[in-house]
Amino acid sequence: MDASALNNVVIDLLEDMKAQDINVIDVTGRTSVTDSMIIASGTSNRHVQAVADHVADKIKDHGINPIGSEGRGNSDWVLIDLGDVVVHVMTTQAREYYDLEHLWGDPESDRQVQ
């Protein structure tokens, strides 16, 4: 599955769990680690965990096994590495603090989903 199709699957999974402010950042050519970052907010640490668990579990139905995950437990930021796509699920406070959109964003290629 290419990065664009994987982005769409992940967005659907995030929306299933009512993740908020979903943003896709194309980082192709800016890093060799991944092609896209998808950043989404959860309403609480528990919601962040539930959203991340849902994505990590249901992405397997599409033949994708997560390479790794960081921030599990009582975290305000969970990262799921899917290879071509890295998913960041964060509380609003963590998202504002780390401001990944500012660090990685490119206004011409990024898209806000919600």
> Secondary structure of 38-77 in the HEC alphabet?
EEEEECCHHHHHHHHHHHHHHHHHHCCCCCEEECCCCCCE
User: How many helices (H) does the chain have, and how many strands (E)?
Assistant: 4, 6
Total domains, the chain: 1
Say if residues 19 and 42 touch (Cβ distance below 8 Å).
yes
Give the tens place of pLDDT for each residue, 24-38: 999 988 888 899 999
User: Cα separation of 100 and 62, whole Å?
Assistant: 27
Q: Which of 45, 111, 110, 49 has the alpha carbon at shortest distance from 80?
A: 49
pLDDT the model gives residue 64: 95
pTM over 0.95: no
pLDDT the model gives residue 9: 97
Domain that holds residue 34: 3-112
CATH number at residue 58: 3.30.460.10
Give the tens place of pLDDT for each residue, 44-77: 999 999 999 999 999 999 999 999 999 977 789 9
